[in-house]
Structure 1
Amino acid sequence: MKIVIAGAGAMGSRFGLMLHRAGNEVILVDGWADHVNAINENGLKANLNGEEVVASLPAFHKDYLEKEFAADLVIVFTKAMQLEGMMQSIKELLYDETKVLCLLNGIGHEEVIEKYVPLNNILLGNTMWTAGMVGPGEVKLFGNGSVDLQNLAPGQEEIAKEVATVLTEAGLNAKYSENILYSIYKKACVNGTMNGLCTILDVNMAGFGETKEADAIVEAIVAEFASVAKVEGVELNVPEVLAQIKGCYNRETIGEHFPSMHQDLITNNRLTEIDYINGAVARKGLKYDIATPYCTFLTQLVHVKEQILGAK
C-alpha cells in the first residue's frame, strides 16, 4: 500500500517505520526542516525496544512537497492546530480513492478533513502506542500498543477493516471498532489528565501518579469528560477509564514516559494542543451548561506556561 504519514514526529515516525518494515511504500511529510533533512541524509534512526535501527524513508517538508505519489492511505499525525495546513500541503497527493485515517488527539477533526476528501474516505481512530523524539531524525520507540479505528460514513466498514489489517500486519495491533467515539473519548481522558498535568508539573507519568493527590485530580477531570460525553451520546465506563489512566503510572511499562504535550512545551518550546483536549471539554461544557472547572483551569495554566516560556 502507498502510504503518506502526514506529521512525522515521534508517533508518525513509529507508524512510518513499522509500515515500511512490513513492505509498504511509505513517505514522511513534516513541517520540521531539521527533522526532514536529517532523515534524508542519515535515514530515520530509532531505538525500537532496545534495538538500534535505521530506515531509509523519503521525507518531505510540507511547504516544499514536490512529489508524484498517489496515496492509497494518509495517516494524519499532526498537532491539531496544524491539521488544516497539512491537508492543504498534501492535497496534490490525494485522489478519489485515497483514504485518510485521523489519529490526532482531541475531538472534531473530521470537519477539517472533509474539506479535502469525501466523507466516505474518512476513518477516525486513536492509538495507545507511545513514542519520543530524541532529536532531528531520531526517535525512541518502546512498549506495546494498539489502534482502534472506524469508518466515519455508513457502509464503508470493509474499507476500514482493510486498513486495520494493513496496520496489524505491520505489528501495530489495529482492530475495527463499532463505536470509535467511545474510544476517542476514552483516549481523550488519558490525554486530558496525563498531558496537561505532567506538563505543568514537569514530571513523567509515574512521578505524578505516585503523589497523594493524583487520584483525586484525575477522577475530577475524568468526571468532567464523562459529563460532556454523555450529552453527545457516549456513555463512558468511568472505572475502566480510570484504571487505564492509573496503569500509566507503572514504571515497569510506560510510567517513565513524558507525554507528548510535555515534549512539545517543556522540551521543544512549542505551543500545545490543550485547546483541543481539555479546552474542547471546557467549550462543550459552556455549550451544554455543564461545569468544567478542572478542565478550564488546566487549560488556562498550560496557556500561561506557554506564554512564560515564549512557546511558538
Structure 2
Amino acid sequence: MAGTWGMLQRHPRNRKHTNDMKIHIIGSGAIGGMAGAWMAKNGEDVTFVDAWRPHVDAMQANGLRIDGILGPHHLQVRALHPEELDEPIELAFIATKSHHTDSAVELVRPHLTPDATVVSLQNGFNAERIAELIGAQHVIGTVPDYTAALVDPGLLEYTVVGPVYIGELDGALTPRLAEVERLLSHLTTVKVTQNIIGRIWTKQCYMSWIVMSAMVDAPIVEVLRPIENRMLGVAVVRETLPIAAASGVTLESDAYFQPELIADRSAAARRKQSDVIQGLIDHFDHRTNQEPAAREGYQYVKQGSGMWWDIVYRKRPSETRWITGALVERAQALGIATPLNATMAEMVYAIERGERPLGWQNIAELADLAESLGEPLGLE
C-alpha cells in the first residue's frame, strides 16, 4: 500500500508544484505572452520561448512591453529562441497557434521532467492532440476567453478582459490544477471546470461566427451589428451543435452562448439571441465596454478577431482550418451535413490564398446560402 501511495504521489497530476518552480511559455505572443507577463510581474520564474526571431530579439534587448486595456507596462524578461532551450521543464504553457502545436510539443518533449505538466493555453482541440503525443497524464486543458495581440516585436496589446477555463481532461480536481489556477489568476479570473472537454467544444462551436466575421475587413462589432448578420452567425453556429451531440459532448452555457436558445428557430428565440449578441458586441466594443480598467481614448490596434488579425494584419493563414475546418472534418466522419460551415471555411481558405477579396460580399453570399437552406435571418 505504501508503495502504491508513493507512485500516486509521483504521478504528474498529483504533484503540487512549488512556488520556486520554473515556468516556460511556449509561444509568447498574444495569449501566452500576456499570461506569462503577469506571472512574471508577480514574482514567478518565467521563461518566454517563441519561434518569431524578431520578437525574441526584442524581448532580449529591451524587455516586453504591454499596452491596451490595463494601461502601459514594461518588464524585463528571460526570452529564448527555440534552439536556445536546453533545460528541464516542469511546467510548460503551450500557447502557439494550432498549426504549430506538434512542433511545440516536439520542442519541449526532450526536456520534460518525468512529472512535468503541459498546459494547452490555446483555442481548438489541442489539449487532445498534446495528450496523444505525450500522454493525457501530463496535460491540462484550458479555454482562454481574453483577447490580445502581438502588435510588434516585443509589444503586446491586451484588448478584451475575459476568464480562462481550466480543467483536467478527465474532470478530476488535482493539486496541479489548483497551482495552474493560481498562476493564471495573476492575469484574469480563472474558472475551474470538471467538463473542460465540453468547454473546449463550446468555444469551438461558437467560434464559427468569429470565423464568419473574419471575411470582412471591419471590426467584429460592425460585422455583427446588423440583425441579418447576427442571425446568419446563429445559423452557422446552430449547424455545429449536432456534431457535439453526436460526439457525446455536453456543451456549456454562458452569457454569450446558450445552446438551447441557438437550437430554437422560433421568432421569440431569435429575438432573445439577438439581445445576447448585442451583449457580446458591447463586450468587444471598447466604446461601450464597462470593464473597470477600460481606457477611455486609447486607440486599439487590434479591432477584429484573432482570425481577422492573422489575415489582415499579420498576412498569414488563420486558425480557421483548425477551428471550423476541424468541426467540418468531424461532421463528415459522423455523416452530418454542414453546408454553411464547409462553405465558409472554403471562403476563408480562398481569402488566405489571395484568391478571394475580403468584403461584405462574402457575408452576403453566405447569407444567400443560408436562406436557400431555409434558415431564418430576420427577427419575425
Q: TM-score by structure 2 length?
A: 0.74
Q: Residue 248 of structure 1 aligns to a residue in which SS?
A: helix
Report the counterpart of residue 16 of structure 2 in structure 1: none
AA at the equivalent of 1:20:
A
2:118 alignment partner, one of 100, 115, 122: 100
The answer (yes or no) to whether the contact 2:213–2:224 under 8 Å persists in 1 is no
- 2:363 maps to what in 1? none
Q: How far is the alpha carbon of 1:45 from its aligned partner?
A: 0.6
Q: CA deviation at 1:129?
A: 0.8
- For structure 1, which segment, 244-253 or 127-136, has the greater mean C-alpha deviation from structure 2 after superposition? 244-253
Task: Give 1:108 shift.
Answer: 5.1
* Partner amino acid, structure 2, of 1:110: E
Counterpart-to-counterpart distance in 2, 1:3 and 1:77: 13
**Residue 174 and residue 300 in structure 1: after superposition, are their counterparts in 2 closer, same or farther (change >3 A)?**
same
So what's the TM-score if we normalise by structure 1?
0.90
Q: Which residue of 1 aligns with 2:181?
A: 164
Partner of residue 317, structure 2: 271
Question: Which of these residues, 323, 337, 358, is aligned with residue 291 of structure 1?
Answer: 337
Runs of at least 4 residues off by over 4 Å: 153-156, 239-246
Q: 2:156 aligns with which of 139, 142, 160?
A: 139
Instruction: Choose from 63, 69, 76 the match for 1:43.
Output: 63
After TM superposition, the structure 1 stretch with the greater mean CA deviation from structure 2, 104-113 or 210-219, is 104-113
Matched, 1:219 2:265: no
Match of 1:65 in 2: 84
The letter for the 1-side match of 2:281 is Y
CA distance in 2, matches of 1:153, 1:65: 34
- Residue by residue over 1:139-189, the C-alpha shift from the partner in whole angstroms, topping out at 9 and shown as x without a partner, is 111332111111124656332223212322x13211210111221122223
> 1: CA distance between counterparts of 2:319 and 2:59?
25
Amino acid at match of 1:238: P
- Residue pair 1:47, 1:140 contacting (<8 A) in 2 also: yes
Unaligned runs of 5+ in 1: none
Letter in 2 for 1:269: K
Residues 113-262 of structure 1 aligned to structure 2 (within 5 Å): 113-116=131-134, 118-153=135-170, 157-168=174-185, 170-194=186-210, 196-236=211-251, 237-238=258-259, 246-250=278-282, 251=285, 252-253=288-289, 257-262=303-308
What SS class does the counterpart of residue 126 from structure 1 fall into? strand
Tell me the amino acid that sits aligned with residue 5 of structure 1. I
Q: What is the one-letter code of the residue matched to 1:265?
A: I
Contact 1:120–1:156 under 8 Å retained in 2: no
**Structure-2 change in CA distance of 1:244 and 1:184 (3 Å):** farther
Q: Residue 141 of structure 2 aligns to a residue in which SS?
A: strand
Match of 1:86 in 2: 104
How many percent identity over aligned positions?
24
1:134 Cα deviation from its structure 2 partner:
1.9
* Greater Rg over alpha carbons, structure: 2
* Contact 1:87–1:113 under 8 Å retained in 2: no
Change (3 A) 1:143 1:79: closer
User: How much is the aligned-residue C-alpha RMSD, in angstroms?
Assistant: 2.3
Following TM superposition, by how much is the alpha carbon of 1:30 offset from its aligned partner in structure 2, in angstroms?
1.0
Query: Which runs of 5 or more structure 2 residues have no equivalent in the other structure?
Result: 1-20, 252-257, 263-272, 292-299, 357-380
Given that 1:39 and 1:137 are in contact with CA atoms closer than 8 Å, whether structure 2 keeps it comes out as: yes
Q: Distance in 2 between matches of 1:127 and 1:226?
A: 21
The Cα offsets for residues 252-286 of structure 1, whole Å up to 9 and x where unpaired, read as 23997411111111111111211111111111111
Separation in 2 of the partners of 1:127 and 1:217? 25
User: Does the 8 Å CA contact 2:67/2:156 hold for their aligned counterparts?
Assistant: yes
Look up the match of 1:302: 348
